[in-house]
A and B are shown apart, each in its own frame.
Chain A
Amino acid sequence: MGSIFNAQQIVNGLQVGSIYALIALGYTMVYGIVRLINFAHGDFYMIGAYAAYGAFYLFNASLGGKTGIVAFLVLAASMAASGAVALLANKLAYKPLRYKPKLSSLITAIGVSMFLEYFFSALPVIGPSYRSFPEIIPRTDITVGGAIISNYVVIDIAVAAILMVSLTLLVRKSSLGKAMRAVSQDKDAARLMGINVEKIISFTFLIGGAFAGAAGLLAGMTYPRIFPYMGIQPGLKAFIAAVLGGIGNIPGAVLGAYIMGLAETFASAYNSLIGEGISFAILILVLLIRPTGLLGEKTADKI
């Protein structure tokens, strides 16, 4: 049992959880505002990874050596690219169906997801095959209490934490956040109060996409192999994390993501087949026992 429940496995689980958390945040935000499960969200993550890949080679040529600045620019590029694509997806695919039956948007989301995957594989500059992701920041290790922690683990957790805290502050403290909460509660009432609902929705997609982009960069750095279908699996896991935490609830998504990361790691260490299945077992259990998720509020219907 010592090799299953130990400090190293906790670190492993937290690292996986951080990436899930960043993706899950976007899922949960979009769901909270427009009640849409945006299945294309995992693909925004993929776009973030590719944007980071391109940005690194672009900036590294002129700014080679200044690791910190390059890393910051790469992060900005990945967030901008994913945010922009999310914004565009909202404008072109989801907005026309806003007041149509929810199932239409859901199916459209699956369509957007497939479109992005196949379109990116068809683009000659991206292509369907694996690419190796560059080492943006040199990796170093420290050993704490028997666990080896690389700076990548620290970066993954730190970036996830910083973005989560800023998002929570934005939603809780700013007037924009207040507007977002208002739209999430009642679109018509919000509109009567003079809130530009479409603008708030666009903003939500932008932020959600940008977070997925950041997750894409972190994943690319941690698992240096990217390809157009890389978003499917993490997207699904992050969705389960969001449901586990209570979809629509921001702290819930983060909590769910870390629980998922740890559960998967421990289960994989016990037996790989259980490890892969555990996330889905969790999903089924949550839906059976507590459909609103750990921190979710009661709503009339989910999807």
Chain B
Amino acid sequence: MKKFAIVLLLAIAATSLSVAQDIKIGGIGPVTGEAATFGVSTKNGMTLAVEEWNAKGGVFGGRKVKLIFEDDKGDPAESATVYTKLIQQDGVVAIVGTVMSKCTLAGAPICQAAGIPMITPASTNEKVTQVGDYIYRACFIDPFQGTVGATFAFKNLNVKSAAAIFDLGNDYTKGLAENFKLTFEKLGGKVVAYEGYPTGVTDFKAQLTKIVAAKPEVLYIPDYYNDVGLIAKQARELGFKGPMVGGDGWDSPDLVKIGGKAVENGYFTNHYSPDDTRPAVQDFVKKYTAKFGQKPDALAAQAYDAMYIMLDAIKRAGSTKGTVIRDALAKTNIDVVSGNIKFDANRNPIKAAVIIEIKDGKQVYKATVKP
């Protein structure tokens, strides 16, 4: 009965659309609640993308985009409600959202069941796209950063031996470390030390002494900034002088506050940098800053990209039918702010990551690395 109702609503929505000519796209983000800054950036990014497409004359056949944006408050229950509302009440043809993985996981099955293509701009949890073939994402998943970190260390820093230290109790840091090791060894490098530590400790010297004794040229620390600061400090204390590499967990001003000089000569993988010199990035930063009065963060860039990817697929599909859009999404090959994007078989993007260097206590754009 429910399925029938959805089909009926979709049919009504489809007929009304052909009359109105506007293509309705649902946008979702946590504009209020614990991740409010994420939501605001997401909404801004999507709004800017939609405006640009409409200024160019719409998606296909002169049909413009109507963005219907809903706030999920960072709450999975709320998220399920707004997904359902967008699909059943507003009759959107596709959804771009949402941010937090737990919320996206609540919404993705609804999209999958209704046959509505969906792309999340920022949910990194691997499970999200496993929900089904209508679910895509615009950001890379966590383990991917380990691969990029290893490639950067091997090719750009030109080192042949590495060590990794990671939190045994955290899937994020473990996944990054495992993928770093795998890729670094595949490239021909040697991982001379691979040490874990339990969650919540402050003294890493036992493990670091072992690591320093193995004489690695680079140290991979894929943890969050507050642990990284301590680890970096203790590693330097024990005489490690080489570069350090990490993941997007480093992205906080507190990293330098805790780590001080120890985190200099440190590099981390991130989704995007406003200092990236590529014209696409600079153009986006200029337009976004002019419209919203502040520099776009990674969330804004990802939301902008996600909207572009979805609209591009609809344009190539030349239709608002879910199955056709879904098939078009699979064939995506588009240049957006965060680089060229294609999808792999699991509907995760194959894209480049940016490397940010810690230099004189500041984050400086260093390079863009392709996997």
Residues of A within 8 A of B (CB): 2-4, 6, 8-9, 12-13, 15-16, 130, 132, 135, 139, 141, 148, 150, 152, 219, 223-225, 230, 233, 264-269, 272-273, 275-276
Contact = CB atoms under 8 A, between A and B. Distances in A.
A132 B196 CA distance: 23
A67 B195 CA distance: 37
Interface residues of B, number: 27
Given A225-B202, A264-B206, 8 more contacts: A2-B213, A9-B209, A132-B254, A224-B230, A268-B206, A269-B207, A272-B197, A275-B206
A152 B298 CA distance: 39
B217 to A, nearest CB: 17
Given A224-B230, A233-B200, A276-B198, A150 B237 contact: yes
Contact of B258 (A13, A130, A233): A130
B209 A12 contact: yes
B237 A12 contact: no
A141 B239 CA distance: 9
Contacts of B238: 8, 148
A15 B205 contact: yes
A225 B226 contact: yes
B214 interface: yes
Nearest to A133: B258
Contact of A224 (B205, B206, B229): B229
B257 interface: yes
Contacts of A224: 229-230, 233, 258, 260
B187 interface: no
Contacts of A233: 200-201
* Nearest 4 interchain pairs by C-beta: A268-B206, A132-B257, A223-B202, A3-B213
A222 to B, nearest CB: 8
Nearest to B234: A223
Interface string B189-203: 000000111101111
Nearest to A224: B258
Contacts of A152: 237
A12 B210 CA distance: 12
A272 to B, nearest CB: 5
A52 to B, nearest CB: 16
A266 to B, nearest CB: 7
A16 B205 CA distance: 10
6 contacts: A8-B238, A12-B203, A223-B203, A224-B260, A225-B229, A267-B206
Contact of A3 (B168, B197, B209): B209
A268 B258 contact: no
A296 B208 CA distance: 35
Nearest to B237: A150
A260 B136 CA distance: 51
The secondary-structure label for the interface of chain A is: helix
Nearest to B225: A130
Contacts of A130: 226, 254, 258
Interface in B292-350: none
Contact of A268 (B197, B254, B257): B197
A273 B198 CA distance: 7
Contacts of B200: 233
Contact of B230 (A4, A225, A265): A225
Given A130-B258, A148-B238, A272-B195, A219 B206 contact: no
Contacts of A223: 202-203, 230
B254 A3 contact: no
Among the interface residues B195, B213, B239, B260, which one has the most CB atoms of the partner chain A within 10 A? Answer: B213
Contacts of B213: 2-3, 6, 8
A5 to B, nearest CB: 11
A275 B230 CA distance: 18
A269 B198 contact: no
Nearest to A150: B237
A272 B198 contact: yes
A132 B205 contact: no
A267 B206 CA distance: 8
Given A8-B238, A272-B207, A225 B198 contact: no
A3 B213 CA distance: 6
B165 to A, nearest CB: 9
A224 B226 CA distance: 10
Contacts of A272: 168, 195-198, 207
Interface string B224-267: 00100110010001110000000000000010011010000000
Among the interface residues A3, A219, A266, A272, which one has the most CB atoms of the partner chain B within 10 A? Answer: A272
B44 to A, nearest CB: 26
A281 to B, nearest CB: 14
B330 to A, nearest CB: 42
Contacts of A6: 209, 213
B206 A132 contact: no
A13 B203 CA distance: 10
Nearest to B165: A272
Nearest to B204: A268
Contacts of B226: 130, 225
Nearest to B238: A148
A12 B201 contact: no
A12 B206 contact: yes
A6 B196 CA distance: 20
Given A132-B229, A139-B237, A150-B237, A8 B209 contact: yes
A211 to B, nearest CB: 19
